[in-house]
Structure 1
Amino acid sequence: MTEQLFAEMLNLGDKWEVSKLEVLAEQSCIEVTIKDTAKLLEGMECPCCKRTDLIIKDHANERLWDHLQMWTYKTVLKCRLPRALCKSCKKTWTIRAPWEGVNKHSSKDFEALALTLMRHMPVSKVGKLMKVDDQKLWRILRVYIDKERAKLDWSELTRIGVDELSIAKGHRYVSVFVDMENHSVLFAADGKDAQVFEQSPRNFTERRSPSCNY
């Protein structure tokens, strides 16, 4: 009954199930073990040849994912991900966990909460609150920033403004690149000298309008 409740909370559907729950009181941690069901391959295609003649070849080593806390307890998801084999083209691959975020050791829900909190408080404090190393949070944040930056369309840029901003004691500065038409921030770089232009993304200049001026 408890395993089924956790499966529903994790929205696992009928292709995955919770097989074991373990409360580690001394570590203030709940470990949730998940395994695949017989329905896992239903509707799945080979990523190489798109055929559906698949079988489960074996299972990879157990992996862990940080998940949302349950009350004051840290929650960790555990699973040996299945490896599928296409009987047509013989391609073998590890099936991705549907709960996995951009970081292979954290869940989507964990990352969603972390991103929300990081908008309102320092990353170090978020790490303490979520009981995780803040360096992991920085890595997650950078991946999401890079993904969103790749979607930016700068082809209509006509004027770019650059200004320096003091961010800490000891004369530490960042330079901020701004679209002068709509006042949106395009990029920020450490420092305030000519080298800040070298730090900008490679496609920053490639994707702007040819008539764009700084």
Structure 2
Amino acid sequence: MSVQLPWVINDVQIYHKNKLVEVSIGFARGNEFSCPECGLACSVHDSVTHRWRYLDFFDYRCYLTMNVPRVRCEKHGVLTLKETPWGRMGSHYSFMVEHEIMKLSSEMSMSALSKHIGEPDSNLWRVFKYYVFNAVHNDLDLSMLRRVAVDEKPQKRGHIYVTIFSDLDTGNVINVTEGRKKEVFSEFRAWLPKHGGDPEVIELFSMDMSVSYKAGRAEYFKEADEVYDRFHIKKG
């Protein structure tokens, strides 16, 4: 972990009994920070404390506790920075941990991921939805989309599912729709043109062998092929 001015490490505590590392980060006095709204350099008004889980240090859990500046902007008043070099406000996890969550979420269910990293699946879903929401609202260009991966994930206990559509060529998640009935393909078809995608040029769907998914593909993407990977064939 690299820490550079204006940020400084205030303290590091290692708790061997609990296998825990606590790192405290602050900022040097006299520095200015950009207003999160307009970007102008502003003086520090005060600070708030935020804590993120960081990447584990061997088998020790690591946490960053940080004094996050609140700046005084002449135009926008007193505002808290929206993010720091290590994490964003509103998240339980540092950027590096969020990256791992997004990477592993494409390889395992949220319940399995929850057990793997020892975090509540509700927190993991918040991270997942945050980045998917940003992806689909920040000028997502799907004009080159041709091949789509479709998968389901249990959202909560009690067999409540979401359907996840990903670009098979880039691996990026592009859409999350509640449910796993054939109608999710109808919603996906209607959603594509809003982001430059053309339903008529989709060539292939890689998905599991569920009856509803097969029916949805056949009804709403008649010209596209469907394939099943080894995992889905074995599971089916």
Ranges in structure 1 where 5+ consecutive residues have no aligned partner: 1-8
The question of 1:135 aligning with 2:122 is answered yes
Distance in 2, Cα, partners of 1:82 & 1:64: 14
Deviation string 1:94-136 (CA, Å, 9 cap, x unpaired) is: 1232211485221011112222223333333332332222221
Deviation string 1:3-60 (CA, Å, 9 cap, x unpaired) is: xxxxxx2x2211111111122334322111111113641xx444556554x3221122
Larger-gyration structure (1/2)? 1
Offset of residue 139 of structure 1: 1.7
| Residue 94 (structure 1) aligns with | 80
Query: Alignment partner of 1:127: what SS?
Result: helix
The question of 1:104 aligning with 2:82 is answered no
- Aligned-residue CA RMSD in angstroms? 4.2
The question of 1:36 aligning with 2:27 is answered yes
| Residue 62 (structure 2) aligns with | 75
Do the aligned partners of residues 47 and 196 (structure 1) sit closer, same or farther apart at CA in structure 2, a change above 3 Å counting?
closer
Please tell me whether the aligned partners of residues 141 and 197 of structure 2 are also in contact (alpha carbons under 8 angstroms). Answer: no
| Residue 52 (structure 2) aligns with | 65
Distance in 2, Cα, partners of 1:166 & 1:64: 32
Matches of residues 5-44 of structure 1 in structure 2 within 5 Å?
Answer: 9=1, 11-38=2-29, 40-41=31-32, 44=33
Please tell me whether the aligned partners of residues 165 and 176 of structure 1 are also in contact (alpha carbons under 8 angstroms). Answer: yes
Please tell me whether the aligned partners of residues 33 and 78 of structure 1 are also in contact (alpha carbons under 8 angstroms). Answer: yes
Letter in 1 for 2:79: W
Offset of residue 91 of structure 1: 1.8
| Residue 211 (structure 2) aligns with | none
Please tell me whether the aligned partners of residues 192 and 198 of structure 2 are also in contact (alpha carbons under 8 angstroms). Answer: no
Matches of residues 187-202 of structure 1 in structure 2 within 5 Å?
Answer: 189=177, 190-193=179-182, 195-196=183-184, 199-200=187-188
Please tell me whether the aligned partners of residues 174 and 191 of structure 1 are also in contact (alpha carbons under 8 angstroms). Answer: yes
Distance in 2, Cα, partners of 1:165 & 1:16: 42
Distance in 2, Cα, partners of 1:79 & 1:176: 34
Distance in 2, Cα, partners of 1:177 & 1:129: 24
Give the paired residue count: 189
Distance in 2, Cα, partners of 1:188 & 1:49: 32
Ranges in structure 2 where 5+ consecutive residues have no aligned partner: 155-159, 201-219, 222-236
| Residue 110 (structure 2) aligns with | 123
Please tell me whether the aligned partners of residues 74 and 131 of structure 1 are also in contact (alpha carbons under 8 angstroms). Answer: no
Offset of residue 76 of structure 1: 0.9
Do the aligned partners of residues 74 and 208 (structure 1) sit closer, same or farther apart at CA in structure 2, a change above 3 Å counting?
same
Match of 2:44 among 39, 46, 56: 56
